[in-house]
Amino acid sequence: MSFGALSVASGLTVLQTCVLSILLFSGGSQFAFIGVIAGGGNPIAAAGAAALLGIRNAVYGMQLNALIQPRGWRRFAAAHVTIDESLATSTGQTEPLEQKRGFWVAGLGIFVLWNIFTLAGALAGNAVGDPKNWGLDGAAVAAFLALLWPRLKSREAGAIAVVCALATVIAIPFVPPGIPILLAAVVAAAIGWFGYRRGPDGEGMEPDIDPYREEAP
């Protein structure tokens, strides 16, 4: 609803808002697009900002492609509904069948509801007033936190989340929209990589392979 209302307020028609929501279907990218338009930017700049935020979905896609292994037309459908929520719901399961079910239920369910409420928000338009007065501008942030919180089961995960959040906040004033979250991803990857290289005891890890060891019969 927040996206629909803000999109109409930024100058898009109800039809343009709904088509954008159906074809793009990535909350952060959609908000980035209309944010640039509302600020007086041209559609090319708006598409660039949306694309930067959408890069993370490509990373999700590589992981989910290996996880659920869609075939045929399902590959295209899976690519379209690869979002934060479908990734989190799928990877939160342990059984392969439940991983696939979690992905499709979350992805398709959110696609339907997202577009229904986009239309509702667009039709309400100015009648809703400023979406911030209703707290709708914080809905996406709340959803991200709800997805993240259950995954912070260790001190290490919490520390990485804090470091990445700080990196994002520091980068926001200096780089275009979409870049801070990518920088945070790079920071997380670097921490994970160097942590793996050093090993749990703080020393470098070497492959546990003995070329002279004979296998037991």
Would you give the distance in Å from CA 152 to the centre of its chain? Answer: 17
pLDDT of residue 197: 58
pLDDT tens digits, 193-208: 777 555 555 555 444 4
| Helix axes 14-24 and 27-38, enclosed angle (nearest 10) | 140
Domain ranges within the chain, ordered by starting residue: 2-150, 152-205
pLDDT of residue 217: 47
The pLDDT of residue 39 is above 60: yes
143: which residues sit within 8 A by CB, 6+ positions away? 84, 85
Specify the pTM: 0.66
pLDDT tens digits, 136-186: 666 666 766 776 777 777 888 888 888 988 988 898 888 776 677 778 878
Question: Nearest 10 degrees: CA dihedral of 197, 180, 174, 166?
Answer: -70
Rounded to an integer, what distance in angstroms lies between the CA atom of residue 90 and that of residue 93? 6
